[in-house]
């Protein structure tokens, strides 16, 4: 069950409260001979994704049409026939744009039913990936609207993606998400509803998809996993509209990373395989190396050492082929040392501490952006503790805590807490000082 952001958006447009809608629906029902007793709590359930029974969806359209002085359909309020034009997986690009922008609006307005929605599993989680892989393709993405979209508009979106990615790396997703979502509402939404020929439209959808992916990354970093997943699914649909298979594979890599966090290891393997298979020659060495490395982690968690070691070898081979300057902007996160730290985590799960330590040390010894360095130091400290090298683990943890200070990131907080717990259990000299430094980093308000 996913939040009904279309209903939320149209209620906001109509200026009607939850209690007001319930009262008007009850009144409209009485005119049809129905004894309805809905309250604001029922409307809250509808916004969370519950479908009203019987004639109530039609009554909601009737009430809103009278309020807005225009026709309102079931698709307009997110209550169309499942699988029909208004469904989340419908093929209409125009309908998708309206659903996507409704989500951005609800996120910016901090709607609880959107922010607190859990991630979906099973078929709803797999379907967007399947639809990206398979026909039909978007034959023509042109659109007629009021605002003429230009190459300069698209360049603004690209620059914004780069800006917010850097902000995320330095300050964390919690601080960055409100800004990128505000930009999507103020700048990207009007462009998607604007006027453009097919060629310009494909560039527009690509630039917007890459920006939406950043919003998803920030939501993931904020522990809003249902919201992050919806942003990733949106980015995947925009990637398909752009015709750029490489961008789609990048978005799937983000879904693979989230699947690993949610311990959906078989799904992580399958998603990565779908990206590698479908993108084919359009996948770059950097992205391939990351996908293989994440598959290795998934196989290691599943206890399949042969599968993990096979993917480690493929990740290392792909990493050797990376040529800086020949990668798209989105894969810039695959910096030197990233594959090492991913491989170290897989080897740690397999119990090969010596090899894991070698890879983690290599990762720490390679320059990285602020956020990546914290993760690398956390991994090395954890491995040193597992190997019984308490003094080295403490020294590494001190570096990690100092590097993390000031960042607003739930994922980094998780890493810091994990290292702290290991240090406290160890109880060696210096652990109290390291734990105090970590506590200081954790005091940053989120």
Interacting residues of 91 by C-beta distance below 8 A, sequence separation 6+: 136
For 415-440, the pLDDT digits (tens) are: 888 888 888 777 666 677 777 778 87
Preceding omega of 129 cis (within 30 degrees of 0): no
Q: Which two tokens stand for residue 324?
A: 């800086």
Q: Which two tokens stand for residue 165?
A: 């990615």
How many helices (H) does the chain have, and how many strands (E)? 22, 0
- Please state, in angstroms and as integers, the Cα–Cα distance from residue 202 to each residue in 104, 324, 444, following that order: 21, 26, 41
Let me know the angle formed at the C-alpha of 315 by 313 and 316, rounded to the nearest 5 degrees. Answer: 65
**Residue-by-residue DSSP string for 168-188:** HHHH-HHHHHHHHHHHIIIII
- Number of CB atoms found within 10 A of residue 322's CB: 19
198 close to 142: Cβ distance less than 8 angstroms:
yes
| 118 vs 116: CA distance, rounded Å | 6
Q: What is the pLDDT of residue 364?
A: 95
Residues in the chain: 446
Helix/strand/coil for 165: helix
Q: What is the pLDDT of residue 88?
A: 39
For 387-413, the pLDDT digits (tens) are: 988 888 888 988 888 888 888 888 888
Q: What is the pLDDT of residue 157?
A: 98
Helix/strand/coil for 414: helix
Per-residue pLDDT band at 91 (split at 50, 70, 90): low
Provide mean pLDDT across the span 156-178.
95
pLDDT above 70: residue 81: no
pLDDT above 90: residue 76: no
Interacting residues of 219 by C-beta distance below 8 A, sequence separation 6+: 107, 173, 177, 225, 227, 228, 231
Q: What is the dihedral of CA 109, 111, 116, 122, to 10 degrees?
A: -100
pLDDT above 60: residue 53: yes
Q: Which two tokens stand for residue 418?
A: 């994990």
As beta bridge partners, residue 148 has 195
pLDDT above 70: residue 82: no
Provide mean pLDDT across the span 17-34.
90
Could you tell me the pTM of the whole model?
Answer: 0.85
pLDDT above 50: residue 174: yes
For 330-372, the pLDDT digits (tens) are: 999 999 999 999 999 999 999 999 999 999 999 999 988 888 9
């Amino acid at each position: 069950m996913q939040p009904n952001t279309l209903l939320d958006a149209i209620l906001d447009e109509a200026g009607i409260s939850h209690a007001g809608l319930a009262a008007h629906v009850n009144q409209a029902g009485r005119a049809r001979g129905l004894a309805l007793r809905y309250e604001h709590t029922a409307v809250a359930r509808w916004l969370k994704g519950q479908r009203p029974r019987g004639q109530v969806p039609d009554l909601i359209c009737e009430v809103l049409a009278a309020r807005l002085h225009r026709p309102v359909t079931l698709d307009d309020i997110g209550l169309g026939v499942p699988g029909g034009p208004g469904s989340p997986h419908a093929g209409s690009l125009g309908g998708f744009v309206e659903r996507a922008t409704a989500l951005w609006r609800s996120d910016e307005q901090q709607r609880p039913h959107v922010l607190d929605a859990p991630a979906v599993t099973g078929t709803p989680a797999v379907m967007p990936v399947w639809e990206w892989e398979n026909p039909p393709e978007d034959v023509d993405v042109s659109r007629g609207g009021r605002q003429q979209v230009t190459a300069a508009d698209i360049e603004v979106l690209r620059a914004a993606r780069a800006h917010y990615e850097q902000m995320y790396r330095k300050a964390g997703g919690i601080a960055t998400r409100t800004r990128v979502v505000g930009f999507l509402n103020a700048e990207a939404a009007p462009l998607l509803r604007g006027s453009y020929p097919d060629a310009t439209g494909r560039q527009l959808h690509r630039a917007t998809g890459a920006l939406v992916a950043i919003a998803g990354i920030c939501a993931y970093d904020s522990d809003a996993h249902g919201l992050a997943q919806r942003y990733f699914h949106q980015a995947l649909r925009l990637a398909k509209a752009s015709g750029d298979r490489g961008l789609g594979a990048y978005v799937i890599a983000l879904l693979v990373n989230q699947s690993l966090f949610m311990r959906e290891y078989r799904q992580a393997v399958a998603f990565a395989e779908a990206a590698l298979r479908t993108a084919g020659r359009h996948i770059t060495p950097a992205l391939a190396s990351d996908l293989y490395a994440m598959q290795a982690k998934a196989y290691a968690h599943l206890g399949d050492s042969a599968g993990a070691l096979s993917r480690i070898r493929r990740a290392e081979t792909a990493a050797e082929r990376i040529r800086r300057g020949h990668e798209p902007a989105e894969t810039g996160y695959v910096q030197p040392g990233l594959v090492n730290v991913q491989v170290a985590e897989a080897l740690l799960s397999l119990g090969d501490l010596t090899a894991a330590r070698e890879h983690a040390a290599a990762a720490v010894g390679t320059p990285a952006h602020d956020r990546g360095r914290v993760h690398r130091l956390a991994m090395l400290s954890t491995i040193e503790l597992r190997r019984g090298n308490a003094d080295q683990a403490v020294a590494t943890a001190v570096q990690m805590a100092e590097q993390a200070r000031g960042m607003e990131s739930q994922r980094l907080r998780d890493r810091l807490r994990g290292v702290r717990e290991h240090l406290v259990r160890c109880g060696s000299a210096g652990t109290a000082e390291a734990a105090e430094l970590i506590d200081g980093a954790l005091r940053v308000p989120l």
